[in-house]
Chains A and B, each alone.
Chain A
Amino acid sequence: MSTFSIIGKRIPKPDAIPKATGQIIYGHDVKVPRMLYGKILRSPLPHARILHIDTSRAERLSGVKAVITAKDLPPRRFGYGRDRTPLKGDKVRRCGDEVAAVAAIDEDIAEEALELIRVEYDPLPAVFDPQAALRPDAPLIHEDRESNLFRHQEYVHGEPDRALEEADVVVEDEFDLGYVQPAPLETSFCLAAFDASGKLTVWSTTQIPFLLQKDLSEALGIPGRDIRVIQTAIGGSFGRGLDMYSFEPICVWLARKAGRPVRLAFTRQEEFAVSEARQSMRIWARAGAMRDGRLWVREAKVLLDNGAYVSWGTVTTLVLMETIGSLYRVPHARVVYDSVYTNNPITGAVRGFGNPQGTFVVEVQMDRLAEAIGMDPLEFRLRNANRPFEETPQGIKITTCGLTECLEEAARRIGWSEKRAAPSRRGAIARGVGIAATMNVGGGARIYRSDGCGCIVKVDDFGRVTVLTGATEIGQGSDVVVVQIVAEELGIRPEEITIVNDDTAVTPWDVGVHASRTTFIAGNAALRAARQVKAQILETAEELLGASAAELELRDGYVRIREAPEQRIPFDKVVRARHFRQGGQVIIGHGWYDPHNEMLGPDGKGNISATYGFGAQAVEVEVDVETGKVRPLRVVSAHDVGRAINPMYVEGQIEGGTVMGLGYALSEHLQVHEGRVLNLTPFDYRMPTIMDAPPIETVIIETDDPEGPFGAKGVGEMGTNPTAAAVANAIYNAIGVRINSLPITPEKVLRALKERGS
Chain B
Amino acid sequence: MKYPLTLKVNGETYRLEVKPHRSLLEVLRDELDLTGTNDGCRTGNCGACTVLVDGAPIPSCLMLALDAEGHEITTIEALSAGGELHPLQRAFVQRGAIQCGYCTPGMILSAYALLQENPRPTEAEVRRALVGNLCRCTGYVKIIEAVLAAAEEMASADVGSR
Question: A residues within 8 Å of B by Cβ?
Answer: 10, 12-13, 15-17, 19-26, 28-29, 108, 183-187, 233-238, 267-268, 474-477, 648-649, 651-652, 654-660, 681-683, 687, 689-691, 693, 695-696, 719
Contact = CB atoms under 8 A, between A and B. Distances in A.
Contacts of B79: 21
A22 B75 CA distance: 9
Contact of B102 (A235, A477, A648, A659): A235
Interface stretch (B63-71, B92-100, B152-160): B92-100
Contact of A236 (B75, B93, B105, B136): B136
A413 to B, nearest CB: 15
Contacts of B143: 690
Contact of B101 (A108, A235, A238, A696): A235
Interface in B70-126: 75-77, 79-80, 85, 89-90, 92-96, 98-105, 108
Given A185-B134, A186-B40, A681-B43, A691 B127 contact: yes
B131 interface: yes
A15 B143 CA distance: 17
Given A652-B138, A658-B139, A689-B134, A25 B35 contact: yes
A484 B57 CA distance: 37
Contact of B138 (A108, A233, A655, A689): A655
A394 to B, nearest CB: 32
Q: What class of interface size applies to chain B in its complex with A?
A: 35 or more
A655 B141 contact: yes
Contacts of A237: 100
Across the A-B interface, give the 4 residue pairs with the lowest CB-CB distance, nearest first. Answer: A22-B36, A475-B100, A19-B101, A235-B102
A149 to B, nearest CB: 34
Nearest to B75: A22
B46 interface: yes
A17 B93 contact: yes
Interface of A is mostly: loop
Nearest to B36: A22
B9 interface: no
Interface in B16-62: 19, 29, 34-43, 45-46, 48
Contacts of A28: 35, 38-39
A20 B100 contact: no
A268 B42 contact: yes
A660 B94 contact: no
Given A28-B39, A649-B96, A656-B99, A183 B104 contact: no
A247 to B, nearest CB: 17
B139 A476 contact: no
Which of A15, A649, A682 neighbours the largest number of chain B CB atoms within 10 Å of its CB?
A682
A616 B40 CA distance: 33
A267 B40 contact: no
Contact of B136 (A477, A652, A660): A660
Contact of A20 (B104, B134, B136): B104
A187 B40 CA distance: 7
Contacts of B99: 13, 236, 475-477, 649, 652, 656
A652 B98 CA distance: 9
A439 B146 CA distance: 31
A12 B77 contact: no
A16 B38 contact: no
Given A17-B93, A655-B140, 12 more contacts: A13-B99, A17-B85, A20-B98, A20-B108, A21-B80, A22-B36, A28-B35, A185-B102, A648-B142, A649-B96, A659-B139, A682-B46
B98 A16 contact: yes
Contacts, number: 170
A214 to B, nearest CB: 25
A29 B39 CA distance: 9
B138 A656 contact: yes
A366 B154 CA distance: 50
A132 B95 CA distance: 51
A497 B134 CA distance: 32
A3 B100 CA distance: 31
Contacts of A475: 99-101, 137
A108 B90 CA distance: 39
Given A268-B43, A682-B45, A690-B130, A234 B100 contact: yes
B85 A656 contact: no
Contacts of A656: 99, 135-139
Nearest to B34: A22
29 contacts: A13-B98, A19-B98, A20-B98, A20-B105, A21-B80, A24-B101, A26-B35, A28-B38, A185-B48, A185-B100, A185-B134, A186-B102, A233-B100, A235-B40, A236-B99, A236-B100, A268-B40, A268-B46, A476-B137, A649-B99, A652-B96, A652-B99, A652-B139, A652-B142, A659-B140, A690-B130, A691-B127, A691-B131, A693-B141
A29 B43 CA distance: 19
Nearest to B100: A475
A20 B46 contact: no
A381 to B, nearest CB: 25
A12 B96 contact: yes
A22 B131 contact: no
Contacts of A238: 136
Contact of A21 (B85, B141, B144): B85
